[in-house]
């Protein structure tokens, strides 16, 4: 049982999904148009449906981001595309929407239509936690690493994410603070110890979780001992 924790793998590369999702530590996958571009995956509704189908063979949910596509009616276009993206499985496909004036309206319409929503591009987490909670978004995604760069202070970025979590608690809301743009497991540990339970991180950070040389050495020692004893016992039984 994971308890309340939710870890997401932040990549649109199916090869990375094949490597990391079998570990069993991930509740879902997060994507956005930039991640699609990096993974050379088309940003189209039909292709995103294909990716969603593939990811949902291994995890409980996947997040995909809606976009306006240059429409003069940005709100209407983003809403319509969000509905189309989530159509195959509204209970498992979460629609990401930027936390802008227009985006919050889109989020509101999608939520009223039965969609799960993540307000994203969180650059002022405590203030945007007010918006996410009152509009009823399931997630708010503050960008920890980018905030640390912007403010030149990882400590301030961490404090902002913690404060956003406190804002939701203060409002008696249910929005999860989905901390994104994580650069290290040290930050992940610090935020988890402060009570945050929802994170999305890259395959590089996932690799850091398993980078404990002493554990690897001990595991090899155990295997070697088991092999020695198995061979010795086998030899005695044969004799």
**DSSP characters for the chain?**
--TT-EEEEE---HHHHHHHGGGS--SEEE--HHHHHHTT---SHHHHHHHHHHHTTTSSEEEEE---TT-SSHHHHHHHHHHHHHTT-TTTEEEEEESSHHHHHHHHHHHHTT-EEEEEEESSHHHHHHHHHHHT-SEEEEBHHHHHHHHT-HHHHHHHHHHHHHHHHHTT---EEEEBS---HHHHHHHHHTT--EEEE-HHHHHHHT--HHHHHHHHHHHHHHHHHHHHHHHHHH-
The predicted model gives 198-219 an average pLDDT of 98
- What are the structural domains of the chain? 6-211 (3.20.20.70)
Per-residue pLDDT reduced to its tens digit, 144-203: 999 999 999 999 999 999 999 999 999 999 999 999 999 999 999 999 999 999 999 999
């Amino acid at each position: 049982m994971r308890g309340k924790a939710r870890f997401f793998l932040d990549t649109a590369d199916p090869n990375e999904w094949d490597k990391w999702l079998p570990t069993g530590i991930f509740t879902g996958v997060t994507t956005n148009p930039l991640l699609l571009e990096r993974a050379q995956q088309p940003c189209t509704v039909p292709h995103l449906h294909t990716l969603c189908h593939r990811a949902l063979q291994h995890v409980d949910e996947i997040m995909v981001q809606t976009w306006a596509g240059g429409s003069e009616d940005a709100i209407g276009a983003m809403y319509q595309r969000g509905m189309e993206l989530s159509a195959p499985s509204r209970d498992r496909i979460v629609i990401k929407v930027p936390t802008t004036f227009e985006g919050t309206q889109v989020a509101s319409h999608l939520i009223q239509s039965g969609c799960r929503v993540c307000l994203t591009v969180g650059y002022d987490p405590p203030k945007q936690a007010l918006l996410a909670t009152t509009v009823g978004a399931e997630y708010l995604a503050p960008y920890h690493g980018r905030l640390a760069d912007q403010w030149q202070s990882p400590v301030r970025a961490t404090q902002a994410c913690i404060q956003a979590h406190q804002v939701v608690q203060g409002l008696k809301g249910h929005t999860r603070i989905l901390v994104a743009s994580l650069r290290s497991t040290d930050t992940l540990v610090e935020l988890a110890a402060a009570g945050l339970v929802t994170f999305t991180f890259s395959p590089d950070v996932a690799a850091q979780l398993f980078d404990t040389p002493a554990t690897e050495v001990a595991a090899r020692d155990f295997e070697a001992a088991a092999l020695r004893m198995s061979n010795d016992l086998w030899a005695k039984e044969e004799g």
